[in-house]
């Protein structure tokens, strides 16, 4: 099989993000779906956003700001046409997840991450942390452009 990504399902000190010290939470692949999205342009990906129990409770009750302990995971894949499906449909209309790109983790801890609005960030490729400080510093800068009422979170709940 091609296009598989080995995603670690644990959190060790050697696999945590620079600046925020965020790792891949155990069992995150089993969390519930918050929403899905397609990002066009240079990213051209399809993504699923998952939440731990604390984040899901906050989403369902429309609680903002999110409580400490909320964790949001964003898994992304290249957005590609499905040759098999499109052959059946007779036109290019079906798109699916292609090769995985990365996993991003957002962790709410209003004390530990006070300088970044209460959120810590990590990005992982092939199950390993991306060690780029420059990359990880772009997370808060981008999220900080959101209205304060959204608590620095892009994803809307899709019930």
Domain CATH number, residue 84: 3.50.70.20
Split at pLDDT 50, 70, 90, the class of 9 is very low
pTM score of the predicted model: 0.89
**Letter string b/e over residues 106-141, b meaning 16 or more CB atoms within 10 A of that residue's CB:** bbbbeeebeebbbbbbbbbeeeebbeeeeebeebbe
| Average pLDDT score over the chain | 92
The residue segments making up the domain with residue 82 are 13-150
**Total domain count for the chain?**
1
Split at pLDDT 50, 70, 90, the class of 110 is very high
Residues 45-54: pLDDT tens digits? 999 999 999 9
Tokens of 128: 């390993």
In-domain check, residue 158: no
pLDDT of the residue at 14: 82
In-domain check, residue 143: yes
**Letter string b/e over residues 69-90, b meaning 16 or more CB atoms within 10 A of that residue's CB:** ebbbbbbbbbbeebeeeeeeee
pLDDT of the residue at 71: 99
In-domain check, residue 7: no
Please name every residue paired with 37 in a beta bridge, in sequence order, or none if there are none.
47
Percentage of residues in the chain with pLDDT exceeding 70? 92
């Amino acid at each position: 099989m091609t296009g598989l990504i080995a995603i670690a399902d644990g959190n060790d000190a050697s696999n945590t993000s620079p600046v925020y010290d965020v790792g891949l939470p155990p069992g995150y692949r089993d969390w519930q779906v918050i929403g899905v999205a397609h990002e066009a342009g240079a990213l051209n990906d399809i993504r699923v956003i998952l939440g731990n129990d604390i984040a899901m409770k906050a989403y369902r009750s429309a609680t903002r700001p999110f409580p400490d302990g909320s964790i949001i995971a964003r898994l992304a894949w290249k957005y590609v046409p499905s040759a098999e499906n499109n052959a059946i449909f007779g036109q290019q209309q079906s798109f699916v997840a292609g090769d995985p790109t990365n996993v991003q983790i957002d962790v709410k801890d209003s004390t530990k991450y006070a300088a970044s609005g209460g959120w810590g960030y990590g990005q992982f490729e092939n199950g390993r942390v991306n060690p780029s400080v420059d990359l990880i510093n772009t997370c808060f800068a981008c999220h900080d452009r959101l209205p304060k009422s959204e608590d620095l979170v892009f994803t809307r709940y899709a019930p």
